[in-house]
Amino acid sequence: MKPAITIIALLFVHVLCGQQADLTKAIQTAALSIEQKVIAWRHDIHQHPELGNREVRTSALVANHLESLGIQVTRNVGVTGVVGVLKGGKPGPVIALRADMDGLPVAERTDVPFASKVIAEYNGEQTPVMHACGHDTHVAILMGVAEILAGMKKDLAGTVKFIFQPAEEGAPKGEEGGAKLMVAEGALENPKVDVIFGLHINAQLEVGKINYRPGGFFAGVGDMRITVHGKPSHGAEPWSSVDPIVVSAQIINNLQTIVSRNVNITENPAVVTIGAIHGGNRSNIIGEKVEMLGTVRTLSDRDKDLVYGRIRQVVEKTAESAGATAVLELPYTMEYPVTKNDPELTAMMLPTLQKVAGQDKVFLVPAETGAEDFSFFANEVPGLYFYIGGMPIGKDVKTAAPHHTPEFYVDDTSMITGLNALSNLVVDYMKMKK
């Protein structure tokens, strides 16, 4: 009996693998057929960027497209978010796919014909807006994946949730938003999500390549505001003052010792950065107040507690030593946890990424100090988040503009990798969970 059982088992595996190969080929064919449509969506979204919690046009474009595919759609989840549910023809797991939709308050300086000229209000001021982090590509890719998977609905052994998320870069001051709010409003429920996948375009990684990391991939982040209060005086009589600018300079210098002297950087990196400082209005007046804005990034809860505590000590004690006072708000407007890829899920799905891109184009990389609010989803269910390349092949990474800058650029040929990666992750995971 044993040989017969073995033969039957082998035949089953052969049939199953054959079916999977057919789906992989079908995905590849479908992705190629809609590639130009996806690129057109990307150009349109890029030309019409919207800031966090203001993605009205983008979310309407997404929702209308999903509904045209017969996908059940819920609008206005987490302010402007969209959730689509596609039930396959067979029972199986619930898999979520996520794309973020918001642009940034950056003035575009590229020469592409679809460059943004949009002006919008940001924290009470008019500012240019640009997709300077590639979220336009994420939206277009996931719209394309929805079309691919809807076209093979009867072959899907499970359910797919398409999560289009607003305000990944942070909601406007005084508002809630982003992944945290979508989770709170039930984006991972009804039906309950088993796993979630997401990707991010990388302008400094060649098209066709994929970067991944199990465990902590992106840092946890909190922003901070430090307000230093001193004593004003005439600039000609500094001895009559408690100069908040001098105190602020001392605070900035002392903050630099936290990473260099307190954090064990052989285990994890950390970042403490002051990105803005505002104080005074004339050369001959010592003002009363200075305000600083900064960011703090760590890759473990232990390091977060250490760094946050030391920042408070440095800020308050440095000010006290000079006769000034300082108020620290940390977090100030936002805080994201570490983005952690589930190790088991990552190992399970690595062959899929290698199948899509080629084994020689998938790379295990160190953790990054960038942050992502995909972390709120991955804190609730096992998640896998990865990079796809957006830099034109042959371009020198040293000359490629970084994310969040006016010259940021990703190549349209990156779309096909994203389409194939997310679609195959869905069907392969369903196969493994039969």
- pLDDT for res 9: 44
DSSP 8-state assignment for residue 68: H
What is each CA distance from 245 to 87, 219, 276, 289, in whole angstroms?
A: 60, 31, 13, 8
How much is the pTM? 0.90
User: Distance between CA 387 and CA 364 in Å, rounded?
Assistant: 11
Return the structure tokens found at 275. 């990105």
- pLDDT for res 126: 97
Q: For the chain, give percent helix, strand, coil, nearest 5.
A: 40, 30, 30
Over its length of 434 residues, how does the chain's per-residue pLDDT go in tens digits? 444 444 444 444 444 455 557 899 999 999 999 999 999 999 999 999 999 999 999 999 999 999 999 999 999 999 999 999 999 999 999 999 999 999 999 999 999 999 999 999 998 999 999 999 999 999 999 999 999 999 999 999 999 999 999 999 999 888 999 999 999 999 999 999 999 999 999 999 999 999 999 999 999 999 999 999 999 999 999 999 999 999 999 999 999 999 999 999 999 999 999 999 999 999 999 999 999 999 999 999 999 999 999 999 999 999 999 999 999 999 998 899 999 999 999 999 999 999 999 999 999 999 999 999 999 999 999 999 999 999 999 999 999 999 999 999 999 999 999 999 999 999 999 999 87
What is each CA distance from 418 to 103, 107, 121, 197, 390, in whole angstroms?
A: 19, 27, 32, 12, 10
Write the pLDDT tens digit of every residue in 181-204: 999 999 999 999 999 999 999 999
User: Distance between CA 128 and CA 236 in Å, rounded?
Assistant: 40
- pLDDT for res 123: 84
* Strand arrangement, sheet containing 195-206: 72-77, 81-87, 157-165, 90-100, 195-206, 383-391, 210-212, 362-364
What's at 278, amino acid-wise?
H
What is each CA distance from 288 to 234, 245, 247, 249, 315, in whole angstroms?
A: 11, 9, 11, 15, 17
- pLDDT for res 8: 45
Q: CB count, 10 Å around CB of 300?
A: 16
CATH number given to 220-335: 3.30.70.360
Q: In which element (H, E) is residue 157 found? A: strand 157-165
User: Distance between CA 208 and CA 394 in Å, rounded?
Assistant: 12
- pLDDT for res 20: 58
Specify which residues 212 forms β-bridges with. Answer: 364
Catalytically annotated residue among 50, 102, 147, 412: 102
Do residues 374 and 179 touch, judged by C-beta distance below 8 A? yes
Q: Where are the domains of the chain?
A: 20-219+339-432, 220-335
Return the structure tokens found at 419. 């389409």
The reply to whether 20-219+339-432 and 220-335 are identical in fold is no
What is each CA distance from 351 to 23, 32, 85, 106, in whole angstroms?
A: 16, 22, 26, 38
| Superfamily of chain region 20-219+339-432 | Zn peptidases (3.40.630.10)
Return the structure tokens found at 268. 């994890």
Specify which residues 386 forms β-bridges with. Answer: 199
Write the pLDDT tens digit of every residue in 268-279: 999 999 999 999
Instruction: Residue 189: name the closest of 83, 60, 80 by CA.
Output: 83
User: Distance between CA 203 and CA 201 in Å, rounded?
Assistant: 7
Active site residue 243: no
Q: CB count, 10 Å around CB of 142?
A: 27
Active site residue 373: no
Return the structure tokens found at 80. 């402007």
Q: At what angle do helices 343-357 and 415-432 cross, to 10 degrees?
A: 130
Q: Is the omega angle on the peptide bond into residue 214 within 30 degrees of 0, that is, cis?
A: no
Residues 6+ apart with CB under 8 A from 15: none
Catalytically annotated residue among 55, 136, 147, 168: 168
The number of helix segments (H) and strand segments (E) in the chain equals 9, 19
What's at 249, amino acid-wise?
A
The torsion defined by the Cα of 30, 34, 35 and 41, in degrees rounded to 10, comes to: -140
